[in-house]
Structure 1
Amino acid sequence: MSGAERFTLADLENIVAERAASDDPKSYTASLKRKGQPVAAKKLGEEAVETVIAAIEGDPARLTSEAADLLYHLLVVLEIGRVPLADVMAELRRRTAQTGLEEKAARNPG
């Protein structure tokens, strides 16, 4: 893949931030931000359910599409909540320094 074809979640985060800050009435991202976190979070939940359904149905094309929607809406929710993707990635990095069972036990003592 060439550099021109490379697209990362950080790229998408930057696009979401730029569009969320715009006053463009045609921007879906700006519209979600104006409506607030409860609306954006509800949309994220809807996309999560649609992703689960696509996975269960075993349709790779639909799963790809729904996963893209899910990631986009997650980044919108993070933007509204002022949580940088870098913070999420740092948390994932911290968690992967141990096994999944160790990490889960550390979050849920007892």
Structure 2
Amino acid sequence: METNQPSVNPNTPNLDRLHIKRPCLVVADLERAFTIYQDILGFKLDYLAEASPDSYLYQVFQFPKSAQLKFASLSTEDEPRALALTEVKGIELPTPTTPYRLALV
């Protein structure tokens, strides 16, 4: 299949193209998530904190104010703050259904 797209060198950043920075994933348990992202995938923890009551996370994810949020920022060797995780406690998270609305591949 031939395309009109120029080839992309993954080792050279191209600021003229889309650059996705720091996807933020909602998790029910940060410690379990760290098992995957740190222990298995090799991310390093940069930052971990409780979210303030006026955090943008409430608005972005439409969490009720009764939810308690904890935020973690993770880095790789090449990409600082490459991924964020938000732990949600105090409310029940809905069970994901298929088809999934998002996939990171």
Shorter-chain TM-score bucket reads under 0.3
TM-score normalised over the length of structure 1? 0.24
Higher RCO, 1 vs 2 (CA within 8 Å, ≥6 residues apart):
2
Q: Which has the higher strand share?
A: 2
TM-score normalised over the length of structure 2? 0.25
